[in-house]
Structure 1
Amino acid sequence: MSGRAAAWAAITVRHLTVAVGRRLTRRASPTSAVVTTLLTRLGPTFVKGGQILGTRRDLLPGRWCDQLARLNDRVPAMSAREARAVLDEAYPDGTPFVRIGTEPVASGSIASVYRAWLHDGTPVAVKVRRGGIGPQMRRDLDLLSAGAGLLERLPGLRKVPMRRMLGHVSTAVLRQLDFAQEATALLQLRQNLADVASFRIPAPLPALCRDGVLVMEWIPDLRQFKPGDLNREQRRQIVRRVLHGVYRMLFVDGLVHCDMHPGNLYLRVEEVVLLDAGFVVRLEPHVRRLFAEFFLSMSMGRGQQAAEVILRSAEHVPPGCDVQAFQAGVRDLVVRNHRRTAGQFRLAPFAAELFNLQRRFGITAAPEFVFPLMSLLVLEGMINDFDVDVDFQAEAIPTLLATLR
């Protein structure tokens, strides 16, 4: 790990040297922006970790979370030579593709996606993992775990379960390297959402998949997930399809897609198409139920019940905590935000105020709840683009009642 630690140091020194130079010339960026750019240069482990930490407004100031949210943007693709090397290793006897594009149609921190054609002319999507990325990410995560263990010993951080939180993040991040697992997740999502109207997941082609290569059906005529020239009723229906699909994941199936940003969500005729099942997390039944109980309490304006769920699910409630004052704060927050439409309600400020309450009373949220929160936070902006009048709390109630009865 010493070699990777040295690489961290070199990248960090170069980046901070440039940042200091800009500060001296009065062209400095905010510290949070400097750190976000540094995470991008340190590699995919830090990019994904930054994305997840950007949802933890109970641990980080809002301005930091806003900057870290920028890590969801498109990253530079691997070169055609790098992609060819991965494909040659995966298919030593020759690829099943008669032709494959040299330029990717999409690119992320872990893989790039190319359009290809099988020998019978069938078009497919080929997801190619960046070469050598697995060992690098594991070394990074081991170093981060060691660092988190040291930070937990500091007086101000002894109540923050940093190593445990990092453990949950690490498991989710490393799972994205496993394309066999992603193929299984695609199949499971297709089965789970089969009865959600006009919601489509691409089918993997397991016989063609290899370590580091995931082959899926090619879905043509995809449009960006934007309102475009859709009328009001079309936008309304699309939002409800997406919400019902997400609520099905969160509250019924527990297999949650945490990366539903514009790079993975598309429109096709009357369908909503969800691509890429790399960052899919399975919620434990007790986590799923607690999150459902909180969401139902919020949706029905029951602030006291919402506060009780938070206390039951908390990682840490300090001795002597003024529980009644905390409950009063949650009741007020829920009442003020009850039955607001998408145009009147913002999940991020709501979550920030809730987490500030927890931080003020020394209550630490369980790390597992970062994943359902991330799923909803990623979606929120797109929902507002389509239909500011949707009452997303009310839309969840039928699914919640059926789940919790």
Structure 2
Amino acid sequence: MPPLTLLIRLYHPQRVYRVFRVLLTVFLLIRKRPSWLGIRPLTPPQLVASIEQLGASFIKLAQVLATRADFFDSSYLEPLRHLHDRLPPMPAADFQQVFDRAFGDGACFSSFEAEPLACASIGQVHRATLLDGRKAAVKLRRNRIERVVREDIRLLGWFLALLHPLFAEYTRNSIEAVLIAFRRTILQEVDMQAELSNLERFRQAYPDSGVRMPVPYPQYCSHDALVMSFEEGVRFDDQERLAGLDVSFAALMEKLVLFYTEQMLVKGFFHADPHPGNLLVTEGGELVLLDFGMVSRIPNAIRLAMINTVKAAYERDFELLVQATRKLGIITDSAPQDELTGLAEEIFRIFDNDQLSAGSMQELAFGVMDALKEYPFKLPQEIVYVMRASSIIEGLGTSYIENYNGVKDVLPVLKANLTRALGERDSIWGVVTHELAQLPLTLVKARHLVDTLQQGDLTVHLAEEDRRALLRPAQLWLQQMTWIGLLVALAFYLRGFVHPLAGWLSLGCFGLAFVRLVWWKKV
């Protein structure tokens, strides 16, 4: 497809309007509003159908949104979770273009199967044989998929800016966190070199995990293609075929839980999509992990704060919980005390021993997210990915082991690895050494504070949301939103006409609303 034709298709008025309806639905559901300017949110089937019609970028966005039980209720979450990332193979002409860019005349292969083994929104996988006889899996990205994704990200950014003033600070922060995570993830997935880097780093970071990973062949890889060893095995969810293998499911689950504990709590670098299609079991009972496009990195400070949050919840330590959740970015320094107390009590209730013994990892994750619905706090996307991966792993366990409980199995592993996860300062001597080392700096800071108070130079910093509230008068906000609302309403009115020009005029009104919004933000 020529570049101009692609752009016309991506920015067709009907498609632009569909993007707007999807995003508006997300905002309305989060804010629990029945409508905006008379527009009601899409129903779950309508939302899923719109996402499927919008294509690869929005299917991936839906996968991120499906992790947010703090945003949606089950009537929306379940359809989003079951939205399958499966598409037909590339047209022959597109396939040939991508293959030629990646391999030229294909001289590196002795054979290459044109019929793909699997197809998804980003790419498709083929079986091939290298010249030296090694079997290879070749992942080709779809033709021009990176251009499509970048244009969709730009379109999402426009509408986010348009809807930005309509919602509270915490809602904006949460939505922006989701879109930032989505942007980072999908740009990784459309670049085969990024996936190659993830695979190589995983193999270096976890050489003794007991879990096998494909061997990459970097000399054949490019932005369009990832070439790696072909791994044979049975999908983890193929119960009929797995039953014929001489394997211990309890041992497999123990290995998987240990591996993910190491990833999420010790190293902070983990495979964020352990669904059954990405896990194989060999005839010898070995686990194989595939597809390294969706890999998440947890910053060290976030990882330690996450562990301390769980520790505080167990010990009902209010001060530690507030400190840890502040480091996670869940709460701000200006959060009201009564709301902090309410959130703490809710989390303490969720982590109550009796609750944990009867509940599941998914119930635990959803319980925490449901608690956040009632308070103006946000959940970092890194934590959501951890919860999602944990729930998926528990789902694998319940498929094969009666009464399998992820909470009961994961918590002993966490306790056993707590010292290693927290680092050497978790020991008594480590704590004493750290505190002694920090003492001179603490004394210097204390003296500086006293001097500042004596000189009358103490500066008080307001919270970001308070400062914005003072700098943005309500009258100006209402005036600008009236103009923007009128332009958007006119755009919807024009869509009711069947004349082709009406569609372009409608899009123009959307554009003017966006320009006015940008102009207002600059002044």
TM bracket (short chain):
0.7 to 0.9
* Alpha carbons 1:106, 1:112 under 8 Å: kept: yes
User: Could you tell me how far apart the structure 2 residues matched to 1:295 and 1:265 are?
Assistant: 28
1:218 shift after superposition: 1.1
Structure 1 210/159 Cα, relative in aligned 2: closer, same or farther at 3 Å? closer
| Residues 1:56 and 2:68 are matched in the alignment | yes
User: Could you tell me how far apart the structure 2 residues matched to 1:396 and 1:232 are?
Assistant: 29
User: Could you tell me how far apart the structure 2 residues matched to 1:325 and 1:393 are?
Assistant: 25
1:290 aligned residue (305, 311, 314): 305
Shifted more, 147-156 versus 133-142: the winner is: 147-156
Could you say which residue in structure 1 is the equivalent of 2:295?
280
Could you say which residue in structure 1 is the equivalent of 2:187?
174
Structure 1 64/349 Cα, relative in aligned 2: closer, same or farther at 3 Å? farther
Unaligned runs of 5+ in 1: 17-29
The residue type equivalent to 1:107 in the other structure is C
Could you say which residue in structure 2 is the equivalent of 1:193?
206
Q: 1:270-349, aligned counterparts within 5 Å?
A: 270-297=285-312, 301-304=314-317, 307-308=321-322, 309-317=324-332, 319-322=335-338, 323-335=340-352, 339-340=356-357, 344-349=358-363
| Residues 1:238 and 2:238 are matched in the alignment | no
2:10 aligned residue (1, 4, 20): 4
Q: 1:80-99, aligned counterparts within 5 Å?
A: 80-99=92-111
How far does the alpha carbon of each residue in 1:177-196 deviate from its partner, in whole angstroms, 9 at most, with x for none? 22112112111111222212
User: Could you tell me how far apart the structure 2 residues matched to 1:267 and 1:231 are?
Assistant: 9
How far does the alpha carbon of each residue in 1:114-171 deviate from its partner, in whole angstroms, 9 at most, with x for none? 1001123221000000001001101101111221222221145664312343122201
* Alpha carbons 1:303, 1:333 under 8 Å: kept: no
Greater length-normalized contact order (CA 8 Å, ≥ 6 residues apart) = 1
1:225 shift after superposition: 0.3
The residue type equivalent to 2:180 in the other structure is G
The residue type equivalent to 1:262 in the other structure is P
* Alpha carbons 1:304, 1:331 under 8 Å: kept: no
1:399 aligned residue (417, 426, 443): 417
How far does the alpha carbon of each residue in 1:12-63 deviate from its partner, in whole angstroms, 9 at most, with x for none? 49x99xxxxxxxxxxxxx9213212321221111111110111111122232
1:319 shift after superposition: 4.0
* Alpha carbons 2:302, 2:327 under 8 Å: kept: no
Could you say which residue in structure 2 is the equivalent of 1:119?
131
* Alpha carbons 1:116, 1:123 under 8 Å: kept: yes
User: Could you tell me how far apart the structure 1 residues matched to 2:304 and 2:136 are?
Assistant: 38
| Residues 1:224 and 2:235 are matched in the alignment | yes
The residue type equivalent to 1:210 in the other structure is S
Could you say which residue in structure 1 is the equivalent of 2:463?
none
The residue type equivalent to 2:181 in the other structure is H
Could you say which residue in structure 2 is the equivalent of 1:140?
152
User: Could you tell me how far apart the structure 2 residues matched to 1:67 and 1:266 are?
Assistant: 26
How far does the alpha carbon of each residue in 1:334-358 deviate from its partner, in whole angstroms, 9 at most, with x for none? 1056653xxx433333222222222
User: Could you tell me how far apart the structure 2 residues matched to 1:246 and 1:159 are?
Assistant: 31
Structure 1 246/329 Cα, relative in aligned 2: closer, same or farther at 3 Å? same
Equivalent pairs counted in the alignment come to 384
The residue type equivalent to 1:380 in the other structure is E
Structure 1 179/70 Cα, relative in aligned 2: closer, same or farther at 3 Å? same
* Alpha carbons 2:170, 2:377 under 8 Å: kept: no
The residue type equivalent to 2:359 in the other structure is F
User: Could you tell me how far apart the structure 1 residues matched to 2:247 and 2:134 are?
Assistant: 35
* Alpha carbons 1:200, 1:271 under 8 Å: kept: yes
Structure 1 113/153 Cα, relative in aligned 2: closer, same or farther at 3 Å? same
| Residues 1:359 and 2:377 are matched in the alignment | no
1:73 shift after superposition: 4.8
Shifted more, 303-312 versus 80-89: the winner is: 303-312
* Alpha carbons 2:51, 2:59 under 8 Å: kept: yes
Unaligned runs of 5+ in 2: 1-6, 23-41, 427-523
1:232 shift after superposition: 11
* Alpha carbons 1:36, 1:68 under 8 Å: kept: yes
Shifted more, 139-148 versus 127-136: the winner is: 139-148
* Alpha carbons 2:312, 2:321 under 8 Å: kept: no
User: Could you tell me how far apart the structure 2 residues matched to 1:252 and 1:277 are?
Assistant: 19
1:258 shift after superposition: 1.0
* Alpha carbons 2:66, 2:80 under 8 Å: kept: yes
* Alpha carbons 1:239, 1:386 under 8 Å: kept: no
Structure 1 38/336 Cα, relative in aligned 2: closer, same or farther at 3 Å? farther
Structure 1 8/124 Cα, relative in aligned 2: closer, same or farther at 3 Å? farther
The residue type equivalent to 2:416 in the other structure is P
Structure 1 5/137 Cα, relative in aligned 2: closer, same or farther at 3 Å? same
Structure 1 375/193 Cα, relative in aligned 2: closer, same or farther at 3 Å? same
* Alpha carbons 2:214, 2:290 under 8 Å: kept: yes
Structure 1 291/320 Cα, relative in aligned 2: closer, same or farther at 3 Å? closer
* Secondary structure at 1:127 match in 2: strand
User: Could you tell me how far apart the structure 2 residues matched to 1:350 and 1:384 are?
Assistant: 16
The residue type equivalent to 2:360 in the other structure is R
* Alpha carbons 1:303, 1:334 under 8 Å: kept: no
* Alpha carbons 1:54, 1:69 under 8 Å: kept: yes
2:121 aligned residue (103, 109, 112): 109
User: Could you tell me how far apart the structure 2 residues matched to 1:80 and 1:207 are?
Assistant: 25
1:206 shift after superposition: 0.3
